[in-house]
Amino acid sequence: MNALYAGVFKRDLSLAFRQKGELLQPLMFLLIVVCLFPIGVGPGPEILQRISPGVIWIAAILSGLLGMERLFKDDFNDGTLEQLILSGLPLSGIALSKVFTHWLVSFLPIICLSPVLAMFLHMSLPMYQALIITLLLGTPLLSLIGAIATALTVSLHRGSLLVSLLLLPVFIPLLIFATSAVESAAMQLSYGPQVAIISAMTCLALASAPFAISYALKVSQH
Amino acid sequence: MAELVASQLSCMKRDKVLFESLSLSLSPGQLVHLRGPNGAGKTSLLRILAGLSQPDTGTVTWNNRAIDNEFQRRLVYLGHKAGLSAGLSAIENLTFWCAQHHIRVSETTLFEVLEVLSLVGLEEIPVRLLSAGQQRRVALARLWLKSSDIWILDEPFTALDTDGVALIQARCETFVRQGGAVIVTSHQPLSMKDMPVSVIELEGQL
């Protein structure tokens, strides 16, 4: 546990903060995409409010995918992954730690930024509350599932577009329930069921993804 | 004693048999020099021995058990890729590597090792700014840091200058004398002072 923290988590975090540009790019991307919508569809508050949950969620998914490639690629290319596999640490633990770091550096800033986005799009307070709950529960799922696809394609030369193509359809259920939760909140309805389903999906991914990722990483070494 | 035994290994790459029915054993105090032309399967063999990839047939055992975490804790493997993150400095790379491999190491020890490798003054610079030979030296610092029983070294002398080569050969010699086992690929002849070097030739088929 300690070795995982000191050797993997701290390392990934210091690497991430060493490349500040790459850290900020997905965030700027998200901000700009969300800003484009009022320009594109007109600034009418009603339309913006109606499309706001979808816009924010889609932008979050896309910007999350931007940083996804980095998750294992550099480590694979420079041989760090080999050394990690041979370190005697459980590979699933390493995978989980890397996924957690990815979530911390790419999704947590988005969640912190979300009040600003909600204001841009005229979200009401109940809508915003629902949005932040779905983001908190749903974005770990994006990181976990995304990491499986990234690990599978890590040995390919140009895998990034393929990862996006593989992943976007997989995220449809999450998108449906997340936006539906926010819409229910807009109509003052209970959105408990949607949140429960998102949590269930995240729990399932949390329990199984580390093993899938570690298997994919082992296969990448062949 | 801790002996690494490979029996009846075969490996295919791109529908081509690299080697088959290959058996070898590596016991403490033994230095094996694996030779062969480019593409003969040296790296593939070493990766199989380290447990990074699986042979198509055959088994690798250590202490009569299939290789596992226990084996990897006693192993230092250095591949073609140095295993250094370009954005981190030498000292950071080595500190994190030690933490991953459950090695308790003090800053003083790290600096001593870097001094042996003539890397003092370069320890805070991101590794990507070092020369190829200096990067290789940082990677090879692991030979000093981890107490182990077996080293698997894939072309460790690439990009090293003559002093560096002599340094690593001397380090290998000390290690073997202390009961370590080394398997190394290199296109240069090994010049060990009065130490038997077993040579395994991989022929490589066209």
Residue A217: closest CA among chain B residues belongs to which residue?
A: B52
Average pLDDT over residues B179-183: 91
Rounded to a whole number of angstroms, the distance from the CA of A156 to the nearest CA of chain B is 16
Rounded to a whole number of angstroms, the distance from the CA of A74 to the nearest CA of chain B is 8
CB B40 within 8 A of CB B204: yes
Query: Which residue type, as a one-letter code, is found at position A69?
Result: E
Query: Considering chain B, what is the average pLDDT of its residues?
Result: 89
Enumerate residues 6+ apart whose C-beta is below 8 A from A186: A49, A124, A126, A127
Question: Rounded to whole angstroms, how far apart are CA atoms A158 and A171?
Answer: 22
Question: Rounded to whole angstroms, how far apart are CA atoms B204 and B41?
Answer: 7
Structural domain spans, chain A? 2-220
Of A8, A78, A83, the CB nearest to B86: A78
Enumerate residues 6+ apart whose C-beta is below 8 A from A106: A26, A63, A64, A67, A143
For residue A112, the model assigns a pLDDT of 93
Residue B73 and residue A222: Cβ atoms within 8 Å?
A: no
Could you give the 3-state DSSP secondary structure of residue B71?
Answer: helix
For residue A99, the model assigns a pLDDT of 95
Q: How many helices (H) and strands (E) does chain B have?
A: 7, 9
Picking from A56, A64, A28, the residue whose alpha carbon sits closest to that of residue A117 is: A56
> B181 has which bridge partners?
B150
Per-residue model confidence as pLDDT tens digits over A174-207: 999 999 999 999 999 999 999 999 999 999 999 9
Rounded to a whole number of angstroms, the distance from the CA of B83 to the nearest CA of chain A is 4
* A23 vs B: CB within 8 A: no
Chain A residues near residue B84 by CB distance under 8 angstroms? 78-80
For residue A215, the model assigns a pLDDT of 94
Of A15, A82, A85, the CB nearest to B81: A82
Residue B85 and residue A79: Cβ atoms within 8 Å?
A: no
* A148 vs B: CB within 8 A: no
For residue B39, the model assigns a pLDDT of 83
Question: Rounded to whole angstroms, how far apart are CA atoms B82 and B136?
Answer: 7
CB A61 within 8 A of CB B46: no
For residue A163, the model assigns a pLDDT of 87
In a domain, B99, yes or no: yes
For residue A2, the model assigns a pLDDT of 80
Question: Is residue B69 very low, low, confident or very high in pLDDT (cuts 50, 70, 90)?
Answer: confident
CA distances, A206 to each of A142, A147, B3, B184 (Å): 11, 11, 39, 41
Residue A79 and residue B75: Cβ atoms within 8 Å?
A: no
Say if residue A130's pLDDT is above 70: yes
Question: Is residue A211 very low, low, confident or very high in pLDDT (cuts 50, 70, 90)?
Answer: very high
* B96 vs A: CB within 8 A: yes
In a domain, B179, yes or no: no
Give the count of Cβ contacts less than 8 A between chain A and B.
82
For residue B205, the model assigns a pLDDT of 56
Per-residue model confidence as pLDDT tens digits over B77-128: 998 898 999 889 999 999 999 999 988 888 899 999 999 999 999 989 999 9
CB A178 within 8 A of CB A53: yes
Strand ranges, E, within A36-125:
none
Of B47, B100, B126, the CB nearest to A87: B100
CA distances, A126 to each of A122, A183, A195, B78 (Å): 12, 10, 14, 56
Say if residue B194's pLDDT is above 80: no
Question: Is residue B70 very low, low, confident or very high in pLDDT (cuts 50, 70, 90)?
Answer: confident
Tokens of A108: 């947590």
Residue A15 and residue B54: Cβ atoms within 8 Å?
A: no
Question: Is residue B151 very low, low, confident or very high in pLDDT (cuts 50, 70, 90)?
Answer: very high
Chain B residues near residue A11 by CB distance under 8 angstroms? 85, 88, 92, 96, 99
Backbone angles phi, psi at A6, to 5 degrees: -75, -35
* B85 vs A: CB within 8 A: yes
In a domain, B176, yes or no: no
Say if residue A118's pLDDT is above 70: yes
Question: Is residue A23 very low, low, confident or very high in pLDDT (cuts 50, 70, 90)?
Answer: confident
Query: Considering chain A, what is the average pLDDT of its residues?
Result: 91
In a domain, B182, yes or no: no
Torsion, Cα of A51, A56, A61, A64 (10° steps): 160
Question: Rounded to whole angstroms, how far apart are CA atoms B6 and A221?
Answer: 20
Tokens 């949140």 correspond to what residue?
Answer: A195
Question: Rounded to whole angstroms, how far apart are CA atoms A131 and A137?
Answer: 10
Q: What is the ipTM of this complex?
A: 0.90
**Quick one: what percent of chain A has pLDDT higher than 70?**
100
In a domain, B180, yes or no: no
User: What b/e string do you get for B166-204 counting C-beta neighbours within 10 Å, with b at 16 or more?
Assistant: ebbbebbbebbeeebbbbbbbeeebeeeeeebeebebee
Chain A residues near residue B83 by CB distance under 8 angstroms? 78-80, 82-83
Most B CBs within 10 Å, among A71, A83, A215, to test the B interface: A83
Say if residue A14's pLDDT is above 80: yes
CB A182 within 8 A of CB A131: yes
Q: How many domains does chain B have?
A: 1
Chain B residues near residue A7 by CB distance under 8 angstroms? 96-101
Residue B99 and residue A3: Cβ atoms within 8 Å?
A: yes
What's the start-to-end Cα distance of chain A, in Å? Answer: 28
Tokens of A113: 């930024």
* B120 vs A: CB within 8 A: no
Average pLDDT over residues B149-161: 91
CA distances, A197 to each of A176, A203, B20, B187 (Å): 11, 10, 52, 59
Say if residue A150's pLDDT is above 80: yes
Residue A82 and residue B75: Cβ atoms within 8 Å?
A: no
Question: Is residue B1 very low, low, confident or very high in pLDDT (cuts 50, 70, 90)?
Answer: low
Chain A residues near residue B101 by CB distance under 8 angstroms? 3, 7, 87-88
Per-residue model confidence as pLDDT tens digits over A48-95: 999 999 999 999 999 988 888 888 988 999 999 999 999 888 999 999
Neighbour tally for A218: CB within 10 Å: 17
